[in-house]
Amino acid sequence: MTQPGGYGLPGSLNRVLTDVAAERAAQDAMWGPQEHPDGTGPAYEPEADLAKRAVTDASAEGRPTWRHILHEEVLEAFAEDDADRLRTEPIQVAAVAVKWVQDLDRRAVSPGGPRTVRKMAELIAHDALPLIRRAWSGDAGPITDVFLAARAQMTYLPRLHSDEQTQAWITDVMLPATQVWVAELHGQVVGCVDDAREPGPSGLNESPTCAFPDALAHEVRAAVRVLPKARFSPVGSFRATVGDDRVTIPGRIYNPEVSPERLDGLTPLQRTILHCLYTRHHDGFVRQHHLKQIIGSLEPWVLPYVVHLVGEYVLEIVADIDAALGDLGVPGSPAHLAYSRFLTDNPRLFALMRQRVASYWACYHRGRFPRLADYPGHRLIAAMSAAGAFTTRD
């Protein structure tokens, strides 16, 4: 049976409200508590009347849209100044927005129209079909349980990580960096899959040129030609703004290292491009080696590769960055100026790294650094916070 407000799809209302809760948590993580005046009052009554008339006219003509309905609710909130009634108005706005999202979700799973949706909903409600949906951060625990249960059956594999380390990786690395889908039965997560695509000739899912500004496309192609073929597809990706470009950088790559002879045949610029890509390698020693080759560079397109490693769990990598960027917190220094522009343009990426630093310190490094302030990753985050002017939204 579909719950009240379920919009014909089992679990629809809970899933949308869960997404809303996740967005609220993300807002608090980025902006902290916020207090603003309401800015509402009778001055908006004429606009509210126009919005209400637009809904009436659209309904009379058989063409009402969610835009009409939400616009009316928003303008009614703008026109209210009584404290008790004002609280009711945003609730109504939120309820309409939630129902709009439910309608979007309904359409997304209904290639055959309403009849198909009703049939699928009936099968899901009777657990004849699992519910397939995108995972979110709140699924980390159930996904970990599924992963560990499957892993327990693979007795031939060595146990390399504790259950706590596995959940930390799923929470802080896999879910933020990849597109994960889960299957639900009886309201419980019973399976999950990472939506990975087949790699191209280089072993990278995205064109390697996507990981660098457009102006470097020719140099990137020349550098990637020497990459040995990867045995496995990369895992995930992250995005960053570099000047006027938006780049998509692989999360983890599995290409063997380039031989010294082939590396020597590249130009210095092409070698730097390869060093950047190898900082995304699955082997921590490889990441650390190639990080050391680029850490002194202040090229804007190098910075996302360095910043992302601040959120590493490998202490030696974080310590290398901390040692190399000693002047990051010095106003006017070259590092301060370069990172200031990048961090200002990428507040969401920085917020994610800040969360990972705190998580990895608590999970792995608290014994060695009892005070968070002494952890190299936290020192870097503090210096970057001072360098970045986080006054605009990403």
Exposure string of 212-242, with b = 16+ CB inside 10 Å and e = fewer, is bbeebeebbeebbebbeebeebbbbbbebbb
- DSSP secondary-structure letter at 215? G
Contact 357, 381 (CB under 8 A): yes
pLDDT of residue 231: 72
Tokens of 191: 């399976």
Give the architecture (CATH level 2) of 130-194: 3-Layer(aba) Sandwich (3.40)
pLDDT of residue 386: 84
Identify the segments of the chain with pLDDT beneath 50: 1-2, 196-206, 390-394
DSSP codes of every residue in 99-158: HHHHHHHHHHT-TT-HHHHHHHHHHHHTTSSPEEEE--GGGHHHHHHHHHHHHHT-TTS-
pLDDT of residue 127: 63
Residues 6+ apart with CB under 8 A from 5: 12, 13
List, edge to edge, every strand of the sheet that includes 131-134: 131-134, 180-185, 188-194
- DSSP secondary-structure letter at 362? I
In the chain, how long is the greatest CA-to-CA distance?
75
pLDDT of residue 318: 95
The residue ranges of every structural domain in the chain are 12-118, 130-194, 199-294, 296-394
